[in-house]
A = this chain, B = another copy of it.
Amino acid sequence: MRDITADDLEALATGAWILGTGGGGNPYMGLLNMRELYRDGRRCRLMAPDELDDGDAVAVVSAMGAPLVGRERLKDPRPIVRSVEIMQAATGVRFRALMSLEVGGGNAFQPFLAAALMDLPVVDADCMGRAFPEGQMTSFAVGGLSNAPMAMADIRDNEVVFLRAESWTRMERMARRVCVEWGSTAATCLAPRTGREVKDWGIPGTTTRAIALGRAVAAARAAHTDPVAAIVEAEGGRRLFVAKVRDVARRTTEGFLRGTATLEGLDADRGRTMTIDFQNEFAVAWADGEAVAMTPDLICVIDSVDGEAVGTEMLRYGQRVSVVVLPAPPVFLSPDGLALVGPRAFGHDLDFRSAFEASADAGD
């Protein structure tokens, strides 16, 4: 168990936004809220999964919705607390700790927002290791754990508990429909997890990893060295493309932000074109028509100058960006994992091929 400092939160915002692979919502709103809560004297603690007893109950929290909507509405920590309270009332469970559904993007902050008000620690783990657009795209679903119940609240006094769902996907779709009805933004508390389940199927250390990634970028900025190189170095990733954004087709539909970005190569990539399809998160990157990176590998679009991630909702003409690919959490590389989060789960008729295998092949 360790204290999270105000400085950790700044680094978390940078690192989580990179791990969001374009989605998960910009962490800036969550960071602003946390700064305010810390100014008011609130403090958060981070605990390792191993510190949980097997029988402890852990609340997995998340903001659901379309990233573009998340930019337009200030976050309020109360709905996320409310979703946890609803879950406790519905199940009789008393939570020992909070954890994030996804470390990528603004959802890295959701457990801290609740923790600051509820005086519970945050578990240093998540169940995506990045961001994914849909609630069934989790390591817990890969592990076949229960999908229910799920609690949901918004700022306008709407509250729902999904008690049972025939499948993880049905749970996601039911909740998504209600989320859309609420304006494509909702606070959710997902199926309660035991300490044992978090230890067996959670992706450990992801908050610490995001903070470290944020610090690496900050150090590069301070030293006037290449922040994109720092990201690649910190995460064992690859720089895929250096480019200018030429076009973005984007629409908010069915509670998601979907579209395609077209990038025009610069420097060594001059004359080449990359297109990246996204559903909240970047899903598949094509270089001159060939799929060169795909989910669950992390496709990250980074501002070439300052190393800040660029979200799918903020991409715009003329931005100078570097496309970086980071390795997928291993749990998603099994057949069960790829069925949930591989390219076909995003509507692309492709067999998953790791960008890191491709790199090895290129050296043949």
Q: Is A177 in the interface zone, CB < 8 Å from B?
A: yes
Contact B164 A157 (CB under 8 A): yes
Docked Cα-Cα span, A312 to B159, in Å, equals: 34
Closest-CB distance, A251 to chain B (whole angstroms): 19
Contact pick for A163, options B159, B164, B174, CB 8 Å: B159
Docked Cα-Cα span, A202 to B178, in Å, equals: 29
Interface segment among A18-26, A53-61, A165-173, A315-323: the answer is A165-173
Contact pick for A173, options B165, B166, B174, B181, CB 8 Å: B181
Closest-CB distance, A279 to chain B (whole angstroms): 18
Contact pick for A159, options B156, B164, B182, CB 8 Å: B164
Residue among A159, A160, A180 facing the most chain B CB atoms (10 A cut-off):
A160
Residue of B whose beta carbon sits closest to that of A150: B160
Contact pick for A158, options B86, B159, B161, B165, CB 8 Å: B165
Contact partners of A90 in chain B: CB under 8 A: 90, 161
Q: What is the number of residues of chain A that contact chain B, defined by CB distance less than 8 Å?
A: 21
Closest-CB distance, A172 to chain B (whole angstroms): 10
Docked Cα-Cα span, A170 to B173, in Å, equals: 18
Interface hits, A178-194 → B, CB 8 Å: 178, 180-182
Q: Is A286 in the interface zone, CB < 8 Å from B?
A: no
Contact partners of A346 in chain B: CB under 8 A: none
Contact partners of A177 in chain B: CB under 8 A: 177-178, 180-181
Given contacts A157-B164, A157-B166, A177-B177, 18 further A-B contacts (CB under 8 A): A90-B161, A156-B166, A156-B170, A157-B165, A158-B165, A158-B170, A158-B174, A159-B162, A159-B164, A160-B161, A160-B174, A161-B163, A170-B181, A173-B181, A174-B181, A177-B178, A177-B181, A178-B178
